[in-house]
Amino acid sequence: MEETPEPTPVAAVQQPTDFSYTDTPQVVVTPVKPSDTSVFAYVAIGCGIGAVILAALLPFSNWLALICAIVSIVCGGIGIGKEPKRNMAIAGLALGIIAIVLWIVLLILKRFLSIGLW
């Protein structure tokens, strides 16, 4: 019978546990704050209400009503893109459109039909 040699124990090799590297640059990431569009929604609804009031009630501020309506439409269009005050921006946009339509109707009544409601 042949003898089989016993396996000789092998010493365990330790792996280094330090994984820090000195050559690795650190990257600092700064979060980007999303732009706040709620200001545009507030401006849109404020100018929209002002434009409707100016177009309907005050005869001497006819062009001012048109300017407020245009500002309301532009700010409502910008404010509608984001969620925070989306419904308010839609309301401002609608009020701007209503003010322009009212302004045109009252202008036609005044200029071409000689009907003055003021």
pLDDT digits (tens, 9 = 90+) for 4-31: 767 666 666 666 565 555 555 667 777 7
Residue 44 CB contacts under 8 Å (≥ 6 apart), including other chains: 71, 72, 73, 75, 76, 79, 88, 89, 91, 92, 93, 95, 96
- Calculate mean pLDDT across residues 20-45: 70
C-alpha distances in angstroms, 106 versus 69, 71, 93? 15, 20, 20
Residue ranges per structural domain of the chain: 38-111
* pLDDT for the residue 73: 93
* pLDDT for the residue 71: 93
Tens digits of residue pLDDT in 82-104: 777 888 889 999 999 999 998 88
* pLDDT for the residue 116: 61
pLDDT band at 61 (very low <50, low <70, confident <90, very high): low
**Residue 12, CA atoms < 13 Å, CB-side half-sphere:** 3
pTM of the model: 0.62
Quick one: which of 87, 89, 107, 110 has its CA closest to 99? 107
